[in-house]
Chains A and B, each alone.
Chain A
Amino acid sequence: MAAPFDLKNDGVVVIIGSGAGGGTLGNELAQKGIDVVILEAGGRHEYEDFINDEWDSFAQLAWTDKRTTSGDWRVAKDFPNLPAWIVKAVGGSTTHWAGASLRFQEHEFKTLSTYGKLEGANLLDWPITLADLEPYYAKAEDKLGVTLTNNIPGLPGNNNFKVMKAGADKLGYKECHTGRMAINSEPRDDRNACQQTGFCFQGCKWGAKWSTLYTEIPKGEATGHLEVRPNAMAIKINHDASGNVTGVVYADKDGKLQEQKARIVAVAGNSIESPRLLLNSVSNQFPDGLANSSGQVGKNYMRHTTGSVYGVFDKPVHMYRGTTMAGIIRDEARNDPSRGFVGGYELETLSLGLPFMAAFLNPGGWGRSFTTALDHYDHMAGMWIVGEDMPREDNRVTLHADMKDEHGMPVADVHFDDHANDTAMRDHAYKQGSALYAAVGATRTFPTPPYPSTHNLGTNRMSEKAADGVVNKHGQTHDIKNLFVSDGSQFTTGGAENPTLTIVSLAIRQADYIAEQMSAKSL
């Protein structure tokens, strides 16, 4: 029932990317009767086609087009061409994601006022508050079927969670539970309940975990108002003399360039590709790229302060059985500068299979120190640190000076240096994580460095004033009224929480705004 729209149809909203932001916006608009074309660079793989195998799944779904890195972050050394672990496929990174769905805390919308000016950080208050977003958080939680909201029971704790919980109790943490997960603990929304398969990062073959691929997108298509065009890589956004955008040039499945005309364009390619596309859309009128009068496009790249702690025990754990992110500790998420840093972090269980553990435990490491860790793979428990990192102007996505992709589009370079606050937070979290596992009898713990970024944020940030950021409080660019940003690149700051629930809430809110503006004929 997918409605195929004509390339020349200039009445459609064109959305770039079909992930958390784009897929949600597309369905929300389609439900309101607005015609939408989603251009998606990747292919369409339905959930039966997902693969319970880490590298094979990575090859099927991950974004592996060339990127470059620079800066002092360890990812630049370990994975120079893989700054981010995200997806190129219909559904975007919601195919790979773990499902943790947390609301931001009130102060995280007001970081400049709360933390004050921090040297080397480009902090700014969001132009919206928690109260503005609360009704949309509620809608998003219902849409995603988040456990422990809407009377949905929590998931049962797996082995990895039980170890975490036992340690949390010993350390006196109060807020440790199986999380707010966008994973069905019982059948809901015509989808299965979680079968504890343990391959959440490889795409849920049961469809128990929310992904736009099998929720928003088919629902939108069923209205007849949404077309998703896979294998369509947007290269450039065109505009007219008045400065309004008019269409999107993309490479189709055969590599041929096409232009889809548009009434409105919404960019949702995740925080590396979205600024790359805006920066590549240069013209005489906009020599620095679209929506870039502030010069902020691509800047303030955030990736959360991350890291993992794995512990080895004298008895088996089998952490890989069951949900990958099976539980959370929230006690450290508060802002408490007495710990030596501003902002806070969450601790969430995490498990990797043996192949990814070998690749990520200590990239570049070798010898017995490394291999004796893996020897105890089935005796390991693991957790992931996710905390607020500081936005910095120099942490940014730029177009590579001479390296180009197969379509002739300059590849993205991702530059990142840790702020001292990030490092202090990570060290604190490593200590807490190690102490937690030691308290349950770990014989050895591993402070594991950050993986390529799964959370990518901030590169088209939201601001009250046009001079400080790229988009306003509706994700509408300050410079061009029919150009929107609909993904995590809108985030003014990153919060301590996994970002997707906030991305989805912003997309629902943006759909209301776009529909209003369209019926008022302002768009």
Chain B
Amino acid sequence: MVTIYERKAGERKPGLSRRELLKRGGVGALLVISGSAVISPEHAWGLETSALKPETMATLIQMARDIYPHDQVPDKYYAIAVKAHDEQAGKDPAHKDLIENGIADLDLKSGKDGYTGLGWEEQRVAVLREIENTPFFQAVRGGLVVGLYNQKEVWPIFGYEGESYSKGGYMARGFDDIEWL
């Protein structure tokens, strides 16, 4: 089972020195691998993997952001969007191979520091362009369309208000409030 958990206040941050440290290109935020989990110490959430390697999951999260980059959307939602691959990998060895091999190939194509070692989004996107017709890329991209944009928590970030019936529709809530025309 993959779980996304919010870390409780006061919980000790995992020691960084003994852990493999993944430095995210460009933005400078940190995703940390601890045991079987990907952890965001800055933002107090973690993602535990069961079938995929946690390093694979961390790279997948970066890849997800590079495919659908929204600078105002925190990593957590990308993590939630790709966690289904860990669940599916647990049930289907072929899917596990697809993802693990896909990420390994991505790292290989990215040079000695791997995919997440590439500092600029453009550099990573160039590698993604090379593989965009592969089943691996399409599985990741296709899953994100629903996995990312169908999270109710991200809708407000885009200014989409979602369900409206229970609020009586927009009759009295601005269906015609445009003022700048």
Binding site for B on A (CB under 8 A): 52-53, 55, 156-159, 162-163, 166, 194-199, 205-206, 315-318, 320-322, 353-355, 357-359, 364, 366-368, 370-371, 374-375, 377-379, 440
Contacts and interface: CB of A to CB of B under 8 A. Distances in A.
Interface string B47-58: 000000000000
Interface string B153-181: 00100111111111011110111111011
A375 B168 CA distance: 27
B72 interface: yes
Nearest to B155: A354
Interface string B5-40: 000000000000000000000000000000000000
Contact of A320 (B68, B70, B161): B161
B149 interface: yes
Contacts of A378: 158-160
Nearest to A197: B169
Interface string B94-129: 000000000000000000000000000000010000
Given A159-B178, A366-B141, A370-B68, A354 B158 contact: yes
A321 B163 contact: no
Contacts of A355: 146, 149-150
A355 B147 CA distance: 10
B125 A367 contact: yes
B131 interface: no
A162 B178 contact: yes
A354 B164 CA distance: 14
B145 interface: yes
A53 B180 CA distance: 29
Given A367-B125, A374-B70, A195 B149 contact: no
Contacts of A359: 145-146, 149
A178 to B, nearest CB: 11
Interface of B: 67-70, 72, 125, 132, 141, 145-146, 148-150, 155, 158-166, 168-171, 173-178, 180-181
Contacts of A316: 159, 178
Nearest to B178: A159
Contacts of A159: 174-178
Contacts of A366: 67-68, 132, 141
Given A158-B176, A196-B175, A378-B158, A55 B68 contact: no
Given A358-B145, A358-B149, A196 B69 contact: no
Contacts of B171: 195-196
Contacts of A358: 145, 148-149
A55 B177 CA distance: 28
A52 B145 CA distance: 19
B159 A198 contact: no
